[in-house]
Amino acid sequence: MNLLLAQCTPQRETLPLEQLAEWLAQVPAWRADPEHKLIARRFAFENFYQVMAFVNAVAEIAHAQDHHPEMHVGYSACTLSYTTHAAGGLTANDFICAAQADALPEAFP
């Protein structure tokens, strides 16, 4: 699956470990928690204007994909985490949105 072009669909089953490893390798800046319930990445910026532009772009991805992150927003950084509530863990939807967030501009990649 091309994660950048993919569209989220309703998911109720978490991913098998093998698939998880393959997609984690495609979004290397993201970390899974030890229980593989979520993936997270910190994005760094020069100032709050850049942070909020990023937050709004991530919101557009969420609307388009109907899949929604947790966002921790600070003055010069935003940490995103994705999990699929309906599955109780990680699904394709989390990796699709992570890959699409990776494609947004970042001040300090």
Strand 39-44 with 31-32, pairing: antiparallel
Decide: is 37 part of the binding site for ligand H2B (CB under 6 A).
Answer: no
Decide: is 41 part of the binding site for ligand H2B (CB under 6 A).
Answer: no
Out of 1, 4, 7, 10, which residue is the one contacting ligand H2B (CB under 6 A)?
10
| Angstrom distance (rounded) from CA 23 to CA 39 | 11
Contact criterion met (CB below 8 Å) for 22 and 12:
no
Look-up: residue for tokens 């850049």? 50
Out of 45, 67, 89, 101, which residue is the one contacting ligand H2B (CB under 6 A)?
67
Decide: is 88 part of the binding site for ligand H2B (CB under 6 A).
Answer: no
Give the H/E segment covering residue 72: strand 70-73
Least Cβ distance, residue 39 to ligand H2B (angstroms) = 11
**What does the binding site for ligand H2B look like in residue numbers (CB under 6 A)?**
10, 66-68, 83-86
